[in-house]
Amino acid sequence: MREPRFVLLLLLPSFLLLGVRLLNAESFLQLPLDFIKFLLLLLGAMNSTMTFPFAADAFAGERERNTLELLQLAPVSPKTIFFAKLMTILPFAVFGAVLAQIVFLFMCKAIPGMIIFMAFLGAISFALLFNGLTLLLSLRSKTVRAATQTAALISLPFYFLIQAFYGKFFSCLEIPLAILIFSILFLLASAHFSLKKFLES
pLDDT, tens digit only, all 201 positions of the chain: 455 555 555 555 555 555 555 545 455 556 688 888 888 898 888 888 877 777 777 778 877 877 777 776 777 787 888 888 788 788 878 888 888 888 888 777 778 889 999 999 999 999 999 888 888 888 788 888 888 888 888 888 888 888 889 999 999 999 999 999 999 999 899 888 888 877 776
Question: What does the domain layout of the chain look like in residue ranges?
Answer: 4-11+31-200
Q: Are 5 and 54 in contact (CB under 8 A)?
A: no
**CA quadruple 185, 189, 192, 194: dihedral sign:** negative
| Contacts of residue 195, Cβ cutoff 8 Å, sequence gap at least 6 | 79, 82, 83
Can you give the pLDDT at residue 2?
A: 55
The packing angle between helices 113-140 and 33-48, to 10°, is 30
- Whole-model pTM above 0.85? no
Can you give the pLDDT at residue 183?
A: 93
Q: Are 56 and 155 in contact (CB under 8 A)?
A: no
Which is nearest to 153 in space by CA: 141, 164, 169? 141
Q: How far is CA 4 from CA 29, 95, 146, 164, in A?
A: 34, 17, 20, 35
